Amino acid sequence: MRKAVWTSFGISLILVNVIAEVGYYYTGIYINMFFRIALVVGVTTGVSVLVGSIILVSNLEKEKPLSGHVRDTLGADRKKDAE
pLDDT for residue 5 is more than 70: yes
N- to C-terminal Cα separation, the chain: 44
pLDDT tens profile 9-37: 999 999 999 999 999 999 999 999 999 99
18-55: b (≥16 Cβ within 10 Å) or e? eebeeeeeeeeeeeeeeebeebbeebbeebbeebeeee
What local confidence, expressed as pLDDT, does residue 35 receive?
Answer: 94
pTM (2 decimals)?
A: 0.66
- What is the distance between the alpha carbons of residues 30 and 2, in angstroms, rounded to a whole number? 32
Percent of the chain at pLDDT > 90 equals 53
Q: How many domains does the chain have?
A: 1
- What is the distance between the alpha carbons of residues 77 and 83, in angstroms, rounded to a whole number? 10
The residue segments making up the domain with residue 61 are 2-82
What local confidence, expressed as pLDDT, does residue 81 receive?
Answer: 52
